[in-house]
Structure 1
Amino acid sequence: MNLSGDELWRWLRGTRWKPPKAATATQERAETYVFALEQAEQMFRAAATVGPATQPLLIFYGLSQAGRAIMAAAPVAGDQWQLVGHGISQEPQTFAGPLADIAVTTSKAGARGSFVRLSAALDSPVWCDAAVRLSDLWDCLPENRFSPLDTATQVRRTPLYVEERGLSRQPHKLASVMVWDFPPWVASAGNGEALKTYMASFPGADGFEYPWRGQWDAQEPDFTLDVDGWGGLTMHWHVPPGSDGTLAERRALVHAMTRPHGRARYLVPAVGSNTTSLHPLMTWWAVLHTLSMLARYEPARWSKHIDVDSSQQAVPLESLLEKAIETLPGFIAYTLDEISGGELTSR
């Protein structure tokens, strides 16, 4: 599905005459699917006509309505498709501090809130025991690799792009792929300790191997460096015992440890105390909900954050909102197809 924003909205509109099977289970589900998608499209189109003062509100609520369409199409029983409330919130006192330190938490698993139910449908974690910083959620979006909310440090973790198309078609006991976007402090460390430390934040990606270079007593990972200092590394994972190492088995192994980002696959770090990574749609949801709440309930503070003459975050915020308008229709389309078992693209 390699379509532009307008083409994606047309594709989504084209699914409304015949919604996914689950969305036709009841008349209410079918009507929700159809009209929630209409509302989502109108809000996104309206967001493209205004500036960052108002964009977070329109984009988030457009995404929220798309979430209702997604759940209407989800193969869940009873009223589990219905979304009541947000299911995600911020600690109000943290709005007064740095943007990066806004504390975000969710309702517990099993709650009816939108974030919780949609997360469950997409096999994405929630967290209610300890808040997560907005900066950590922000960094889970590949679009923000070069625009941290606070000073870039070695604590920062950003997604790693996996070249899935590099998998050999011949059977092999190793799933070998090129992995990109290691930060300079990892790619140029000169030893494997920085790589080990960095990869500890990526759930399910342990047990990897990689090529070395240098003398036996001074070996280092064989990174390929870009001109900006970020690097790529060929990484290998063993297929499970008993597997033949077919292309399908190795692709399944890669998919099990990565998340889809459009047509690409990324290793995504876990946030807070989570042991699995967030689905990218839920990362967008968490970030946009936070920005929309700030813009809605703290307009004076929001105006300062988006003031390009005084705020370091103003341009990154502008960029993120523009990218949200451009890329989220694709995420909505992919997620609808994902949750309906590929029913929409198989037509």
Structure 2
Amino acid sequence: MNGHVDPRQAWERLREYRWSPPDGAGDGARCRTFVSALDQMEQIFHAAAMTDLCALPLQVFHGLSQAGRAIAAAAGRLGYEDWRLVAPGIATSGGDRGVADIEIRTDPPGSRSSFVRLSELLHSPVWERVPVRLEDVWDTLPVNLGHPLTDRHRSTPLYAAYGSRGEHDQLLLGRPADELPPWSVGADCPQILDAYLAQVSETAHDSYLPPPSRPQAVPGPAPRASGGRAPRRWFTSRRRSNEIASPVVLPAATRSYMGQLYRFPVIAPLPRELHPLMAWWAILYALSRLAHDDPANWALHISFVGSRHALPLEQLFESALTHLPVLIADTIEDLAMG
């Protein structure tokens, strides 16, 4: 469901910001930090494109952390010295149990650390004592929809389409049935699908309808078809169906990712969904620590001989080098617009 990704355009946008920083970057130290951090990020990412997966996590996270400094410097509402980021603000444990079971914790709210300060800027949650598993964060990114880490139940994002039914436009939280988590789709147990929808919607009681182009289709969720694509089904919130009458409402109900709109799942015990940039941050930090602190274990995970994680990890880092420049440019633009 991702839109066309063109990192070249994102790099052009970021270079334009270096030439003409947003008002929030001001002048003096803030401006110098903004420009220098973006310059370093670009050079690191271009070098990372030539790096083997063995060391790639270290470089990609380093580039993202420099982007974080630029984002904080551009945030005008961070006054005085609050825009200066200190310490990571995030920690991991359990790398010896496997990639999926790495546990991630953060500093408390209000910290000046990078993860916390950026999360607060982007209205993304932080957590402390109760850990979040890397696999749960992994599944919140649309880029990972086709690359699970394990066979466990998944809570993945819902693609949001804009459509109409009768005389009223409405928000369609649409996905083909075979792109829903397999555990959530079953004709005999709609409560299971409701449980999944409750994680990504404001109500667990959604109605089902065919896509506008196939009005003759029979409404209702369809079971996953073995060896092929299941019939297409779309769903929309009954409660919201009469409330949404303009595309202006759509972004308020979703988050943008690579030019597409999604509802993102809420990971227990977090109070709300992670911002996509902070989900990338948590995953890349965890993997960079594993590669740095336990290189032998990391080498086993990325080996295509005996590791089910090798392909998902390779795909993740290939996507990181194209998706992150776009997300970073979008984030700076959003902050510049207030």
TM-score by length of 1: 0.85
Question: For residues 309 and 7 of structure 1, do their structure 2 counterparts lie closer, same or farther at Cα, with a shift above 3 Å needed?
Answer: same
Q: How many residues align?
A: 324
Q: Is the contact between residue 89 and residue 106 of structure 1 (CA under 8 Å) also seen in structure 2?
A: yes
Counterparts of 1:210 and 1:292 in 2: how far apart (Å)?
42
Residues 1:50 and 2:51 are matched in the alignment: yes
Counterparts of 1:170 and 1:69 in 2: how far apart (Å)?
46
Q: 2:87 aligns with which of 64, 85, 88?
A: 85
Residues 1:221 and 2:242 are matched in the alignment: no
Amino acid at match of 1:196: D
Q: Is the contact between residue 91 and residue 106 of structure 2 (CA under 8 Å) also seen in structure 1?
A: yes
Counterparts of 1:337 and 1:230 in 2: how far apart (Å)?
39
1:22-171 alignment runs, 5 A limit: 22-24=24-26, 26-76=27-77, 77-91=79-93, 94-150=94-150, 152-153=151-152, 155-164=153-162, 166=163
Gaps of 5+ in 2: 211-217
Amino acid at match of 2:275: H
Question: For residues 231 and 68 of structure 1, do their structure 2 counterparts lie closer, same or farther at Cα, with a shift above 3 Å needed?
Answer: farther
Residues 1:264 and 2:230 are matched in the alignment: no
RMSD: 2.6
Counterparts of 1:326 and 1:208 in 2: how far apart (Å)?
34
Aligned to 1:331: 327
1:179-198 alignment runs, 5 A limit: 179-180=175-176, 181-198=179-196
Q: Is the contact between residue 222 and residue 231 of structure 2 (CA under 8 Å) also seen in structure 1?
A: no
Amino acid at match of 2:13: W
Deviations 1:198-237 (A, max 9, x none): 112225354533349xxxxxx9824597834496423134
Aligned to 2:214: none
Q: 2:287 aligns with which of 288, 291, 310?
A: 291
Aligned to 1:16: 18
Q: Is the contact between residue 44 and residue 59 of structure 1 (CA under 8 Å) also seen in structure 2?
A: yes
Deviation (angstroms), 1:40: 0.5
Deviations 1:242-261 (A, max 9, x none): x6x4314xx42x43332211
Deviation (angstroms), 1:171: 5.1
Counterparts of 2:315 and 2:23 in 1: how far apart (Å)?
37
Question: For residues 70 and 281 of structure 1, do their structure 2 counterparts lie closer, same or farther at Cα, with a shift above 3 Å needed?
Answer: same
Amino acid at match of 1:149: L
Residues 1:315 and 2:316 are matched in the alignment: no
SS at match of 1:111: coil
SS at match of 2:332: helix
Deviation (angstroms), 1:282: 0.3
Q: 1:200 aligns with which of 195, 198, 201?
A: 198
Amino acid at match of 1:247: S
Aligned to 1:215: none
Deviation (angstroms), 1:61: 0.8
Counterparts of 1:134 and 1:70 in 2: how far apart (Å)?
24
Q: Is the contact between residue 191 and residue 220 of structure 1 (CA under 8 Å) also seen in structure 2?
A: no
Counterparts of 2:266 and 2:279 in 1: how far apart (Å)?
11
SS at match of 2:40: helix
Deviations 1:81-116 (A, max 9, x none): 21111111102xx11112111110111110111010
Gaps of 5+ in 1: 213-218, 343-347
Question: For residues 229 and 136 of structure 1, do their structure 2 counterparts lie closer, same or farther at Cα, with a shift above 3 Å needed?
Answer: farther
Counterparts of 1:327 and 1:230 in 2: how far apart (Å)?
30
Aligned to 1:302: 298
Q: Is the contact between residue 161 and residue 172 of structure 2 (CA under 8 Å) also seen in structure 1?
A: no
SS at match of 1:108: coil
Counterparts of 1:189 and 1:239 in 2: how far apart (Å)?
24
TM-score by length of 2: 0.87
Q: Is the contact between residue 204 and residue 257 of structure 1 (CA under 8 Å) also seen in structure 2?
A: no
